[in-house]
Structure 1
């Protein structure tokens, strides 16, 4: 009697692909962008990649916006992907900021000199680099790299697993390491910034992975946030593993948001990176990292409030203080905005730590207003350039003293920068004021009044920092050896949009706040 082996049975998984479409389109668009770079004619590669990248991110923005009503009615979990209103709201914000950042990244001056090296692989100062510049050669692979990073940003706060979160973190970060090191000018400083960002980013990833391993052991073999949270009250005798794991994961996330004492990379990287990438990184990474940070804190770390609440609140206070004091002594506009970014990370931590019903909505609104103003501000920085006595246009004029008289030289550009600086300072009738108001209100409601008091005092000091730049722009004679370049116009479009949004969100914030206050963070 012969035995006939039974055919193996396989049940195909039922996957709802619709909620995943925004991420799929961005990452798939990045792959197509690589193929465009490989096969499109050399003369047309840049134009094709610009148009394609803008279409991809615009499509992701439309699809993410269309998900809101469906997700608001019913939040779902697809494998390790959490499709809740927190995910959708941050994907909308990320896609909007990515679209604005791409307009700045795509811009070139009247000399056709973009912010990126002709070929990033050329050794700085070498004959190969001189030949690439002389021939007007310009690689455009940074557009698919930006799309890959945006895809990682959209996935990072949407995951319910520390493993998937780490993969998203690397998809977001690895392209940025390359982009930071690809500046057209000051190539040595740019490559140094890329190396610093890569090395310190690797350390933060190591902390994140070690913390994930400890939490895996504590939970009994799961990396899902829900399973870890469920194990917190159920498992006894392993508190040290839980505390060490949570702290290490938080260290990895706090590095990405540039919180004290993990902020030291920020000034050097912001200064050395191509200015459009600095704006993209400062805005987009903050949205993604705070998205993941808030999800992890609400799901897991918040259960250890008695152990960690004061520690993280003190870190938030130190972040605000060091960011504020660091900005006071800066003479370089990019370093000034870098320390401003550190201070804003401290303000945002208030929204995360508050743990009140409006925490998520308040944090999302602050991320939106800060991201819009940041992309606009760095777009302005990229247009203020040094000029030789013979009239040759050089690199960016990043010293604050070189911005003297910008209000007379280019009133429209100076007005836009004024709006962005007022928003950073939290002056009424700007989006930044409303963002600080809602986050500070959540902090007071969550029992963090002392931290809000420190932040209010720091806001007054940072206002003095920003008004020093305003005074230089509008109340001094124009500096010699500086000019505002004419460009292809895409950066001007981004500056106009970000200026308008900063004003509109400051005067009419209610619809957006009401929209974002409907956010709920699902804990599976």
Structure 2
């Protein structure tokens, strides 16, 4: 792994994205059409170019640390960036017609430019090698998301959701920044590798380190939507336009997971005995609150929001299994299982919120669970994708979600947390109720109201992408070994325990 003061080629994806975003912004300013087709195509091409660049870097083994340790390019960064690009591209395709029907593009293509800027922030987070870069990436992503949520200025729910997310997000950013400052004060460095070295030397004061750790974990939990920092998730998921909800719920989760790994595993692994109990408590609370509260929801987006909270509990279970008795143990497979879980979650999220957008039309939001009644009769393909997604979220074989849960439970039991594995299984059984209720309505109930008039028709490209999305969830459940092995490989080759 090369390490030079300034090696711009390592940061080629970020530099290229910034240039392409400026090009998209200028092109959009010259585009007077209401549907912004040119902006859409240019944004999608930009993301496809980024996929090619990151694949080339990964294939050629280009990795290293540059900008005096601020920036890291490694297999984990390449992997998560490529997944983020794919998630953003899918969001563009699923949300194009939805945004056009709601006049979100008539005044400008901010939907695309702000999403690209949020993606830039996510890329900075994924490649952060310093406490400073973590915070800059978080803020760049967050400010773009604040604006995206409030994009429908004439929609009171969107404005309310944006204000809630802004106020709570600013509070969480302050908490995270305070924790980072305490780590810097205790170790005297912003570089994550040097932070780890300072902690392992045993020559730093533990009190400010532990206090800083508490604030950092709290800020990270907010970004992932874990209890007790979950208050924003249901309201924002519900209030934001569905295209923005998908933008918020897919790729940013990968970036948030990346900074959890960078901070807790790379920088603060020596304090694992302190952050493990915090993750354990938040995991149990997230599983309990997420699954139990989701049962009473009638709005599909709010149900999926509480579902997200419960799934973050599983992610935390994988993360806390990497250290046993203060030693790394089977850290690679444990952190790999958490990475596999978050990847499958994002893939399933793309299908669920994408399906909501494809079933919605002008003047009708397919947001209530009752709107899915009789979906199999109206559109068997979308009903099949819904069934696959709900079965995967439940953890029913042979869907990918089953193997994701199994991998986390194996890591949990291997770390000696047998009781926690039992608790996780019990709450998964609770979650099966509200997931299977959706399947029951789609296949066995008669359509009613405005939903009965919706044909569920969608364009060839969005419909084809939705079918591929569903098939991937099924295929990765039948043959999970390749992706799981890749997750473990990128963890072991990129992180040092």
On whether the aligned pair clears a TM of 0.5, the verdict is: yes
Q: Is residue 107–residue 487 contact of structure 1 (8 Å, CA) maintained in 2? A: no
- Shift of residue 97 of structure 1? 1.3
Q: Does 1:359 align with 2:334?
A: yes
Among candidates 438, 441, 448, match of residue 472 of structure 1: 441
For residues 483-502 of structure 1, the aligned pairs below 5 Å read 483-502=454-473
- The partner residue of 1:16 within 7, 17, 27 is 7
C-alpha distance 142-159 of structure 1, shift in aligned 2 (>3 A): same
1:320 equivalent in alignment to 2:291: no
Aligned position for 2:271:
304
In structure 2, the gaps of 5 or more residues are 323-330
Q: How does 1:339-488 map to 2 (within 5 A)?
A: 339-355=306-322, 356-385=331-360, 394-482=363-451, 483-488=454-459
Conserved 8 A contact 1:86-1:360: no
Q: String of CA shifts for 1:179-237, please: whole Å, max 9, x gaps.
A: 1122488x1011000010111000010011111111111012x1111222222243557
Contact 1:145 1:175 in 2 (8 A): yes
What is the count of residue pairs matched by the alignment? 480
Partners of 1:493 and 1:85 in 2: CA distance: 30
**Contact 2:40-2:112 within 8 A present in 1 as well:** yes
d(CA) in 2 for partners of 1:401, 1:302: 47
Q: What is aligned with 1:56?
A: 46
The whole-number CA distance in structure 2 between the counterparts of 1:256 and 1:522 is 21
Change beyond 3 A, Cα 1:198–1:451:
same
Equivalent of 2:217, from 224, 232, 250? 250
Is residue 361–residue 513 contact of structure 1 (8 Å, CA) maintained in 2?
yes
Equivalences for residues 137-286 of structure 1 within 5 A: 137-183=106-152, 187-220=155-188, 222-234=189-201, 236=203, 238-286=205-253
Aligned twin of 1:122: none
Which of the numbers 92, 97, 104 marks the counterpart of 1:117? 104
Aligned with 1:82: secondary structure? strand
Give the structure-1-normalised TM-score: 0.87
Aligned partner of residue 269 in structure 1, secondary structure = helix
Q: Aligned pair in 2 of structure 1 residues 370, 227: CA closer, same or farther (>3 Å)?
A: same
How far has the Cα of 1:336 moved from its partner? 0.3
| TM-aligned CA distance change 1:174 to 1:237, over 3 Å | closer
Shift of 1:75: 4.5
**Partner SS, residue 394 of structure 1:** coil
- In the TM superposition, what whole-angstrom CA distance separates every residue of 1:417-451 from its partner, at most 9, and x where no partner exists? 11111111111111111222222222222333322
More helix, by proportion: 2
Instruction: Determine which of 64, 78, 93 is the counterpart of 2:83.
Output: 93
8 Å CA contact 1:21–1:60 kept in 2: the answer is no
Q: Provide the C-alpha distance between the structure 2 equivalents of 1:496 and 1:241, rounded to a whole number of angstroms.
A: 51
Q: Deviations over 1:459-489 (max 9, x none)?
A: 1111111001111111111112212454444
1:32 is displaced (CA, Å) by 1.6
Q: In 2, are the aligned partners of 1:117 and 1:184 still within 8 Å (CA)?
A: no
Q: Which residue of 2 aligns with 1:132?
A: none
What is the TM-score with the length of structure 2 in the denominator?
Answer: 0.91
- Counterparts in 2 of 1:489 and 1:190: CA distance versus 1, 3 Å: farther
Give SS of 2:236's match: helix
The one-character-per-residue Cα deviations of 1:373-407 (angstroms, maximum 9, x if unpaired) are 10111111123348xxxxxx522031212322122
Which residue of 488, 493, 496 corresponds with 1:517?
488
CA contact (8 A) 1:422 1:430 kept: yes
